[in-house]
Amino acid sequence: MERTSMYSRIIAGTMTWGKWGKDFSVEEMISLMNHCLALGVTTFDHADIYGDYTNEDQFGNAFSKSGIKREDIQLISKCGIQFKAETRDNKVKHYDYGKDYIVWSVERSLRKLRTEYLDMLLLHRPSPLMDPNEVLEAITRLKKEGKIRHFGVSNFTPSQIRLLETVVPVEGNQVEYSLTSNSVMYDGTLDDCMSNNRLAMSWSPLGVYFKENTEQTKRIKTVLHKLCDKYGVTEDQLLLSWILRHPSKVYPVVGTTTPKRLESAIRSTMLQLELEDWFLLLEASNGHEVP
């Protein structure tokens, strides 16, 4: 898969566009979509559960009225999580990766998003009851019918991916990765993406830096402030550039809905952290020098 030509280097995360965040009007969504496109952000990340299963419909309604051509954007969505919501009669939060549910969920996403295909479908979180053969049947059918173009996972470990790959190729993995949460650099997750040419995507790429005041974030702040002066950039740009420097070529899923923050994210792709500065930030995050 030619990853760099298919998806924008910064991916727009839509989780807070609707009920779980800003609850944008149709006009506001269209405006944000167009702003993304003007910046070169053409990939939009969804999940069926966002907004208690309502976000895709809101986005799709705005998209259908925007005049934006389908071939000018890429749509990623996820399925598999079932939880208690007004629109679902579930007794308990669980995961469903039966072939019928996967197909049903994708077809529902297509209707809601007003599109004929997803550029990539992701299984949202691993389930202990996942049967790879059920997944294979669903993905084979969906690809044959042209309803999905690529298939990947989210939050899967390398061993869970290996299980799936006994029957079906996995083309991407979207995981939590940031300066404050960087375990995927050590547990084989990013190594797996590199060695198997999977699209590596990072959700919550800024981590908890702007959300929590901990010993970790205090240490990072001290280093960041010095580097902001050195490079003439902002804290969020340095945090993004830190994960962008990893050789797995991680694609950050940026959840901001603020135009200026989106512009800032784009500028981070042009920043190349010096090697020792990268390790200074890692040391600040971990609280000790590397072994």
In the predicted model, is pLDDT for residue 22 greater than 70?
A: yes
Query: Coil, strand or helix: which one is 203?
Result: strand
At 2 the pLDDT is 53
Q: Rounded mean pLDDT of the chain?
A: 96
In the predicted model, is pLDDT for residue 1 greater than 60?
A: no
**Using one digit for the tens of pLDDT, what is the confidence trace for 129-138?**
999 999 999 9
In the predicted model, is pLDDT for residue 5 greater than 70?
A: no
**Using one digit for the tens of pLDDT, what is the confidence trace for 74-116?**
999 999 999 988 888 898 999 999 999 999 999 999 999 999 9
Where does the pLDDT of residue 193 fall: very low under 50, low under 70, confident under 90, or very high at 90 and above? Answer: very high
Residues with catalytic annotation? 50
DSSP for 60-105, written as a single string: HHHHHHH---GGG-EEEEEE-EE--BTTB--SS-EE---HHHHHHH
In the predicted model, is pLDDT for residue 27 greater than 90?
A: yes
Amino acid type, 18 = G
Please, are residues 11 and 41 in contact by the beta-carbon 8 Å criterion?
A: yes
Percentage of the chain lying above the pLDDT 90 cut: 95
Indicate the CATH number for domain 3-211+236-270: 3.20.20.100
**Using one digit for the tens of pLDDT, what is the confidence trace for 225-259?**
999 999 999 999 999 999 999 999 999 999 999 99
Cα 21 to Cα 32: distance, rounded to the nearest angstrom: 14
At 85 the pLDDT is 84
- Residue 2 CA, distance from chain mean position: 18
Average pLDDT over every residue of 206-219: 97
At 87 the pLDDT is 81
Where does the pLDDT of residue 4 fall: very low under 50, low under 70, confident under 90, or very high at 90 and above? Answer: very low
In the predicted model, is pLDDT for residue 69 greater than 50?
A: yes
Domain positions in the chain are 3-211+236-270
